[in-house]
């Protein structure tokens, strides 16, 4: 929604341009009763869902619902746009040194904390330098570790430090020229007049004080957090006066709370929203995530090694009908995946040399590699004359994964490959047993999900001996490119390195990405304007939202 110009000002401008004689700048007077109020109706409140808030500290909370909610209060030096672009937020200007190790930032001059104190470089330096005092498992430190990447070491004490230059200028000096340097600067800035570097890890009695469009009005533990419009906000003021965060027992209660009108918005991360499609009072907005469903081929197995094994992997890759999975299983609220990175959340990267669905191509590759059906029973034999049979493992208690396994089984049957979907010996802790099989390499084909951070650390999957490299991919060339990517800052050069990584990824074919999942934001139709949610900030559109009069 475009923000409204004052009705009186708008009419005055029209009269000035249309009614004054040439050379005259005299304004014609009008009666106030003639001015139509075009402003949107103010809302007393909107209610959003929250669950299980252990503490209010945005640097410590591991609650993903709270992560999005609290962005209405706190801001970072930079922020992500819908497509993953990084833009200055509290920063007005920035510059990276020639050696790529120093990020110099100039703050905006008109930003104030919600108690009226002015934002300064001291606030930035205190917050950044204080991150080292957080627990190692805090979400902010884990995020910074992912930005650094699996190919690089990370020491929270020494990897970077902030130095105040003057009231508006601060330098962040890093130990290396990290490629994701700007992405590291999206953490919430806290006020130095309320906190010290040592107290940033405080859990109890944490005082919410940000620079965002809303500020804390009240908090009742295990009940609700109430936000109100921030009168000191430097940007356009929100139309909505109050935001209520309703603390529910669990996410399972969110749909019920939305149906009963306890909350005005609900986030559906699983596919339980279809019943809402035809409800006139509900609007659904989908958004891309970094949640990936993937098929791993165990390159440690002899069947996938050598030229024949490479041909088999490529044949499997082109035999899988990913679009059928999207259309039939995910109600079209997903997109076909070709690489680990979702290009819709990562600007400037569009995978090239994609593998497309073609059973005829798969059959041709297999035939040229010596896989044939010598006895005419419809199943291929290996070049050595053995029956070609592969097992498929997944956590079958997950109905989506079970169906994906069945789809893939049918696709491979179409090219003559016999498969068996393996049932666990016991249904107790099936997911745990499946994870053990992944770690130990007890599979031929495995289907599972990966949820990458906002900044996908693809090296955690592709680097030799990486913790999530279940396919046992081992490529010195790939390792070299991943290490280079971690330290490449120039966008053009990063795109080139990513393209080279993608080419190696497709050539190896140890991993077959299936789909990128989408999440759904359901909202009451009384909320005018699309909220344009995204995985970086679900509620960013609330600043411009208002309540419809209809």
State the pLDDT at residue 204: 85
State the pLDDT at residue 332: 80
Cβ-based neighbour number of residue 377 at 10 Å: 11
Lowest mean pLDDT among 81-90, 154-163, 271-280, 472-481: 271-280
Query: pLDDT band at residue 347, thresholds of 50, 70 and 90?
Result: confident
State the pLDDT at residue 549: 63
pLDDT tops 60 at residue 268: yes
Instruction: Over range 542-549, report the average pLDDT.
Output: 84
State the pLDDT at residue 528: 82
Across-strand partners of 446?
Answer: 296, 393
User: Sign of torsion, CA 156 151 289 256?
Assistant: negative
pLDDT tops 90 at residue 5: no
Instruction: Report DSSP state, residue 480.
Output: H
Give, in degrees to the nearest 5, the angle at Cα 254 between 253 and 255.
95
Q: Measured between alpha carbons, how far is 185 from 86 in angstroms, rounded to an integer?
A: 10
Q: Measured between alpha carbons, how far is 95 from 105 in angstroms, rounded to an integer?
A: 7
Query: pLDDT band at residue 275, thresholds of 50, 70 and 90?
Result: confident
Mean pLDDT score of the chain: 88
Strands, E assignment, 81-213: 86-88, 91-96, 102-107, 160-164, 169-174
| 239: its two tokens | 């139309």
**Max Cα–Cα distance, the chain, nearest Å:** 97
Q: Is 361 exposed, middle or buried (0-12, 13-18, 19+ CB in 10 A)?
A: middle
pLDDT one-digit tens code per residue, 364-406: 999 999 999 999 999 999 999 999 999 999 999 999 999 999 9
pLDDT tops 90 at residue 326: yes
Share of the chain above pLDDT 90, in %: 77
Cβ-based neighbour number of residue 407 at 10 Å: 19
State the pLDDT at residue 20: 32
Residue 168 has, within 13 A of its CA and on its CB side, a CA count of 12
pLDDT one-digit tens code per residue, 106-116: 999 999 999 99
State the pLDDT at residue 274: 74
Instruction: Over range 292-313, report the average pLDDT.
Output: 97
Query: pLDDT band at residue 352, thresholds of 50, 70 and 90?
Result: low
State the pLDDT at residue 11: 24
State the pLDDT at residue 22: 32
pLDDT one-digit tens code per residue, 51-93: 988 889 999 999 999 999 999 999 999 999 988 999 999 999 9
Query: pLDDT band at residue 39, thresholds of 50, 70 and 90?
Result: very low
State the pLDDT at residue 28: 32
Give the residue, 492 or 28, on which the prediction is more confident: 492
Count of positions (residues) in the chain: 550
State the pLDDT at residue 75: 97
State the pLDDT at residue 427: 67
State the pLDDT at residue 14: 28
Q: Helix, strand, or coil here: 472?
A: coil
pLDDT tops 90 at residue 280: no
441 within 8 A of 435, measured Cβ to Cβ = no
pLDDT tops 90 at residue 249: no
State the pLDDT at residue 6: 31
State the pLDDT at residue 26: 30
User: φ and ψ at 501, to 5 degrees?
Assistant: -65, -40
| 364: its two tokens | 């041709």
Q: Measured between alpha carbons, how far is 461 from 115 in angstroms, rounded to an integer?
A: 45
Residue with token string 């490479």 = 310
Going by C-alpha positions, the residue among 47, 65, 523, 398 that lies closest to residue 250 is 65
Lowest mean pLDDT among 157-171, 350-364, 407-421, 529-543: 350-364
Instruction: Over range 182-186, report the average pLDDT.
Output: 96
């Amino acid at each position: 929604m475009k923000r409204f110009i004052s009705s009186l000002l708008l009419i005055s401008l029209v009269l000035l341009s249309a009614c004054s004689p040439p050379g005259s700048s005299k304004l014609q007077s009008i009666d106030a009763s003639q001015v139509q109020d075009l402003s949107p109706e103010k809302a007393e409140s909107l209610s959003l869902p929250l669950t299980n808030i252990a503490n209010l500290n945005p640097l410590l909370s591991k609650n993903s619902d709270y992560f999005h909610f609290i962005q209405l209060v706190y801001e970072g030096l930079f922020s992500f746009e819908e497509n993953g672009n990084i833009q200055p937020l509290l920063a007005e200007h920035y510059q990276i040194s020639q050696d790529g190790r120093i990020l110099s930032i100039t703050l905006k001059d008109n930003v104030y904390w919600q108690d009226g104190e002015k934002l300064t470089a001291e606030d930035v330096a205190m917050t950044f330098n204080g991150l080292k005092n957080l627990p190692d498992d805090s979400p902010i430190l884990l995020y910074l570790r992912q930005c650094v990447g699996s190919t690089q070491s990370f020491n929270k004490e020494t990897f970077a430090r902030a130095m105040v230059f003057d009231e508006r200028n601060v330098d962040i000096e890093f130990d290396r020229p990290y490629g994701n340097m700007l992405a590291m600067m999206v953490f919430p800035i806290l006020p130095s007049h309320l906190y010290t570097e040592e107290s940033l890890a405080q859990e109890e009695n944490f005082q919410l004080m940000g620079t965002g469009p809303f500020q804390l009005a009240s908090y009742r533990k295990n009940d609700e957090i109430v936000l109100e419009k921030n009168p000191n906000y430097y940007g356009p003021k929100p139309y909505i006066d109050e935001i209520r965060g309703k603390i529910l027992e669990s996410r399972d209660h969110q749909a019920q709370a939305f149906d009963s009108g306890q909350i005005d918005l609900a986030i559906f991360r699983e596919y339980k929203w279809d019943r809402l499609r035809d409800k006139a009072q509900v609007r659904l907005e989908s958004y891309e995530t970094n949640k990936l469903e993937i098929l791993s081929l165990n390159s440690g197995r002899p069947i996938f090694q050598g030229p024949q094994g490479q041909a088999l992997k490529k044949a499997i890759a082109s035999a899988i009908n990913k679009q059928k999975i999207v259309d039939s299983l995910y109600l079209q609220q997903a997109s076909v995946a070709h690489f680990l990175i979702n290009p819709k959340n990562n600007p400037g990267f569009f995978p090239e040399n994609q593998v497309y669905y073609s059973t005829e191509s798969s059959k041709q590759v297999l035939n040229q590699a010596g896989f044939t059906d010598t006895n005419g029973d419809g199943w291929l034999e290996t070049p050595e004359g053995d029956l070609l049979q592969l097992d498929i493992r997944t956590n079958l208690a997950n109905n989506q994964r079970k169906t994906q396994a069945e789809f893939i089984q049918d696709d491979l049957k179409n090219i003559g490959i016999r498969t068996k979907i393996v049932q666990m010996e016991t249904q107790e802790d099936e997911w745990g047993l499946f994870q053990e099989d992944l770690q130990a390499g007890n599979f031929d084909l495995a289907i599972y999900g990966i949820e990458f951070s906002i900044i996908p650390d693809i090296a955690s999957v592709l680097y030799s001996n990486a913790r999530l490299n279940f396919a046992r991919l081992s490529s010195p060339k790939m390792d070299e490119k991943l290490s280079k990517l971690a330290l490449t800052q120039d966008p053009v050069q990063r795109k080139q390195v990513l393209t080279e990584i993608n080419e190696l990824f497709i050539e190896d074919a140890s991993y077959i990405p299936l789909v990128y999942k989408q999440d759904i934001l359901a909202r009451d139709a009384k909320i005018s304007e699309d909220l344009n949610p995204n995985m970086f900030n679900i509620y960013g559109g609330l600043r411009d939202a208002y309540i419809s009069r209809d």
